[in-house]
Amino acid sequence: MKYMMTYDMMESMRNTNQWLGATARAFASYPAMAVFPNPAIGMIEAWGEVTERSFSRMVAKPDWGISTFTCEDGRDHMVSINTVVKRPFGDLIHFAVPGRKARSRRVLLVAPMSGHYATLLRKTVISLLVDCEVYITDWHNARDIPVSEGKFDVEDYTLYLVEFMKALGNDIHVIAVCQPVPLTLAATAYLAEEDPAAQPASLTLIGGPVDPEANHTEVTDFGRSVTMGQLEQTAIQRVGFKYAGVGRKVYPGLLQLASFISMNGETHADAFKDQIMRVAKGEGGEHDKHNTFYDEYLSVMDMPAEFYLSTVERIFKGRDIARNDFWVEGKKVDLGKITTVAVNIVEGEDDDISAPGQCLAALDLLTSLPDDKKAAHLEPGAGHYGIFAGSSWRNNIRPLVLDFIDANSGDPTRKMRKAKHVDLPRDAGLENVEV
């Protein structure tokens, strides 16, 4: 009951702040308040509007917001989001564009299960939709999954990826972002031994912790500083009676959000103060830059406790992937079995979440993969978000990824470019934090 009470307490605090914001906004909006031309009234209303919006977003799953797409024929085509594989903890979905010619490039985006919804990759999806048939893993909020559906840990996550890859066929090109990078490697190696014909055509691994010890960050330092017992006692709670997953042990999204914000607390505080001032002046908008970013950033989901704890224990503490000692259902997954799948590594120079070198370590583990099947790119000045959804992705990384996909599409007329290895700066990823 202790864990359930703390979960409900956090939800109550969030609900109270949402109510306070709504109350302040309503109070300041009374016509009678116009009798008193005091700027404080406008500030109260602005504070209420920003506060209500912020705390209400924390429990709402954002919409993809991709309803139409302008194609080469100059017409706007409807975008249909179809479920390809439906599973209790996550679905495989496809962004179909009826009326346009199917794209030869088929891409599977593996979204993180790290506190945010897959919609965090909305900009990535939109940018790829121009030239590709786009599929993505849409992970579910653990609070909404009944206990009867059982556990979900890193092994289950890996097997979900195996199932999704099999469903899409061996001409699929996988792009994994952040947290799932090591498990995507493991899933590919699993297929290499169990069903080689089902392996994807290529892997593009973006800013993921293959070897967390390669370059330390606050994230890796935290993982080393706490014991698993301490982590379970302080971070794990049980879902309250309000949701379908009542009684399920989870790592709450609200707790994860608090940790995200604390890493750049001053930056976030300034952003909210500035937004309140803009709203008070009448300069705030429904879809302004602040709301567009924070509507997504503040929308968080609970993770299954088994997944969170096994990630910390096996990926960060035990470094199972980095040591090539990862096991799934009692079988060792040998990364050396990957021999035909081209692998591309993308890192950001100023990535403070998964610092340069952590993802690059994957190439050394692929001992049986020819050098001409390996590629790497270090994006100068890019933070974590920038390498998959920011300007660095749009202007520099996306074209490289598409070239890599084309070079490994099975077309014999295209040649694979030689791997580009980079020297890492001494302080790479430890400064110039990008929110």
Q: What are the CA-CA distances from residue 121 to residues 203, 300, 345 (Å)?
A: 17, 14, 18
Per the CB < 8 A criterion, the answer to whether 355 and 216 are in contact is: yes
Mean pLDDT within 14-41:
88
Please give the Cα distance from 97 to 69 (Å, whole number).
Answer: 7
**pLDDT attached to residue 434:** 36
pLDDT at 419 (0 to 100):
34
pLDDT at 72: 74
The residues that bridge with 326 in the sheet, in sequence order, are 333
**pLDDT confidence of residue 212:** 92
DSSP string, 83-149: EEEE-SSEEEEEEE-TTSPPPSEEEEEE---SSB-GGGGHHHHHHHHTTEEEEEEEEPPGGGS-GGG
User: Residue 177: pLDDT band by 50, 70, 90 thresholds?
Assistant: very high
Q: Tally the C-alpha atoms within 13 A of residue 192's C-alpha that lie toward its C-beta.
A: 22
**Range(s) within the chain of domains with CATH label 3.40.50.1820:** 69-223+303-407
pLDDT band for position 285 (50/70/90)?
A: confident
Q: Name beta bridge partners: 85.
A: 92
The tens digit of pLDDT for each residue in 30-54 reads: 888 777 778 888 899 999 999 999 9
- In angstroms, the Cα distances linking 219 to 142, 224, 355, 411 are 22, 9, 10, 41
Is the pLDDT reported for residue 418 higher than 50? no
DSSP state, 300? B
DSSP per-residue letters across 380-434 = TT--TGGGTTSHHIIIIIHHHHHHHHHHTSS-TTS-PPPP---PPPTTTTSSS--
Q: What is the pLDDT of residues 65-102, one digit of tens each?
A: 898 877 777 778 889 999 999 999 999 999 999 888 88
Is residue 429's pLDDT more than 50? no
> With bands split at pLDDT 50, 70 and 90, how would you rate the model's confidence at 135?
very high
Those residues whose C-beta lies under 8 Å from the C-beta of residue 99, and which sit 6 or more positions away, are 71, 75, 77, 78
Cβ(247)–Cβ(14) under 8 Å? no
Predicted local confidence at residue 246, as pLDDT: 94
For residues 21-27, give the mean pLDDT: 94
> Hey, CA dihedral for 361, 365, 367, 373, is it positive or negative?
negative
Could you read off the pLDDT of 204-255 as tens digits, one per residue? 999 999 999 998 887 777 777 788 998 898 899 999 989 999 999 999 999 9
Per-residue confidence band for 423, with pLDDT thresholds at 50, 70 and 90: very low
Which among 217, 258, 213, 252 is positioned nearest to 235, based on CA atoms? 252
pLDDT digits (tens, 9 = 90+) for 373-410: 999 999 999 999 899 988 899 999 999 999 999 999 87
Assigned token pair, 49: 């509007």
**Fold topology of 69-223+303-407:** Rossmann fold (3.40.50)
Q: Which of 69-83, 162-176, 205-219, 308-322 has the lowest mean pLDDT?
A: 69-83
Instruction: Say which range, 32-36, 137-141, 336-340, has the weakest mean pLDDT.
Output: 32-36
Q: E strands, 215-324, where?
A: 237-238, 249-251, 303-304
